[in-house]
Amino acid sequence: MPLPLQGLSAVVTGAGRGLGRAEALELARLGAAVVVNDYGQAGRDGSGEASAGPAEEVAAEIRAAGGAALAHTGDVSDFRQAGELVESAVAAFGKLDILVNNAGILRDRMVFSMAEEEWDAVLRVHLKGHFNTTRFAAAHWRERSKRAGEPVFGRIVNTSSEAFLAGSAGQPNYAAAKGGIVGLTTSTALALGKYGVTANAICPRARTRMTEDVFAGVERASGNGLDPLAPEHVAPLVGYLASPAAARVNGQLLVVHGGMVAVVERPRVAAKFDSKQDTFTYDELEAALGPYYADRPAGETFAAAEVLGLKRG
């Protein structure tokens, strides 16, 4: 019986460690040939010299298990290098079928203390990095579809975060980037559907180098059990979304961790008020909105994740 991703090729960014590594290994286990991309910097803030080590190690692990893999150490936030990453998959495996965007960095700071460079760096790696690879993969699939005269197979899995859903006081840059990734994902899903391509985003919760502070107080499993926050809980969903079985899943946002997957609805109108004349007056707005918000808990913010009962640990 063929494996679900047999004959398909994939690119996984930020795949040298943590979530990306688990995702690359899972795609390979399901039969895909994988380009393991990782810039290889030592610091989770994007500091340190670039290194081929992390990407090479994961690619070697895949090959040792009988799979096909190659390492790529380009910076996905660089437009040209992102194009070279997509082209490396096409050159090595004949085509690209799956793109998993995972690469990211952290530069945490309260909004009143954040430096411009800290904002720009996080938006560049997360949001621009997602756009760069998506742009070149999309062009590849569009060209193939036009040449074939019919839809082709293409899958994009992007990485958002509960920091976008529920807010994260010390991460305005990260939360904004992750929200932008959801917008990019839904736009891409609409644009590429006719070519046979789906685009979805996940909000993973996992213990990695990026989240070591957030989950420092969350206990690990006792004995030989799998850590409830292990990246291996997230990887199977990525494998499924990358597969032919997920053809009807498009433009979706899913929260995943510890053996749980939640499908997030798009925002819905919670209340509606109509002016009694051509436009609202200040007094009319105060009379309509004042009582509505007076009944809500002080300081409550829009937080879809809390409605789902998915508060961070």
Which among 59, 16, 21, 8 is positioned nearest to 41, based on CA atoms?
16
- Active-site residue 161, yes or no? yes
**Measured between alpha carbons, how far is 19 from 61 in angstroms, rounded to an integer?**
15
Alpha-carbon distance of 207 to 214, in angstroms, equals 9
Which residues does residue 204 pair with via DSSP β-bridges, in sequence order?
A: 256
Q: Which two tokens stand for residue 30?
A: 């399901």
What string of H, E and C letters represents the secondary structure of 206-226?
Answer: CCCCCCCCCCCCCCCCCCCCC
Of 77, 145, 160, 161, the active-site residue reads 161
According to DSSP, the residues that pair with 256 across neighbouring strands are 204, 261
Token pair listed for 120: 């720009």
Helix axes 129-148, 79-93, angle to 10 degrees: 40
Give the whole-angstrom CA distance, residue 213 versus residue 39: 22
DSSP string, 16-41: TSHHHHHHHHHHHHTT-EEEEE----
d(CA 108, CA 214): 12
**Inter-residue contact 103 to 133 (CB < 8 Å):** no
Helix (H, G, I), strand (E, B) or coil at 262: strand
Of residues 77, 128, 174, 195, which has the active-site annotation? 174
Q: How far, in Å, CA of 72 to CA of 235, rounded?
A: 20
Is there a catalytic annotation at residue 146? Answer: no
CA distance 195 to 212: 40
Residue 243 a catalytic site member: no
Active-site option among 77, 178, 195, 243: 178
Residues 6+ apart with CB under 8 A from 73: 37, 38, 39, 40, 50, 51, 52, 55
User: Which residues are marked as active site?
Assistant: 161, 174, 178
